[in-house]
Amino acid sequence: MRVNSVFISGFLLASVALAGRPRSLRLNLVERSANDSSDGIEYGNWAGAVLHQANGTFKAVTGTVTVPDVWGPTNSSATVAVGIDGDTCPNFAMVQVGVTATVTTNGTNYQAWYRWNPTDWVFVDIPICARNVITLTLGIFDATSGFAIIENASTGQSVKEQVQAGSSGYPLCQQNAEWLLEDIFLNNTQVPLSNFSMVTFTDAKAFGKDGKIYTPQGAIIDDVEQDGQVLTSVSVNGSSVSINHV
């Protein structure tokens, strides 16, 4: 299954008709001065680009990325993901789909997942390994339901999952769309960020409820910071977002 603008545009029209009838991962953010490609820079546990728009704007987000090589101390980790909300929405309401790489004593383990904050991650049964080219897509039906798609172009496999806030998830504001590398928290403790090869999201797009297409150009730029040290460097160029380990 290959997701494209025609598919998503069709979904948006359908979802408009329908509309007519997981804990925060964002901690200790500090706005920094603007640069040439963004409104500003924030430091926390996200590295990448975050678009800000009015409430109810975003209905879908997508991006294609080569799964990075990951290495470092045992239990260190790095995650690539796309998401909606999680930055300015109350209660850090957020839905994401992504792949987490964790360094183990037996090598690096890659696991696909989706989540609706603050509920736990739901792991997806699709084989993924380093250097696979994957497309991550989220579509939103309404503030409490949608779908997640993970496509592995390297293997020809894909999976589509329905996602819902459920009884404990927070309703979305649909204010933010993001393309990210994350340093995750487990039991409220930040996991060490592993080393990773350069991560670049291509064909990175978000779709508005009126069918408008947004690119990361002009987004807020985020970097991962641990123990006072900035560990990433991010650049945005048209519809691509690149994240380096520094």
The residues annotated as belonging to the active site are 182
Cβ 103 vs Cβ 74: under 8 Å = yes
CA-to-CA dists, residue 175 to 104, 143, 242, angstroms: 36, 11, 22
Question: Can you read off the two tokens belonging to residue 201?
Answer: 């999201």
For the chain, count helices (H), then strands (E). 1, 22
Q: How far is 1 from 135, CA to CA, in rounded Å?
A: 10
Q: What is the SS3 assignment for 98?
A: strand
List phi, psi (to 5°) of 187.
Answer: 55, 40
Most distant CA atoms of the chain, gap in Å: 52
Distance of CA 6 to the CA centre of its chain: 21
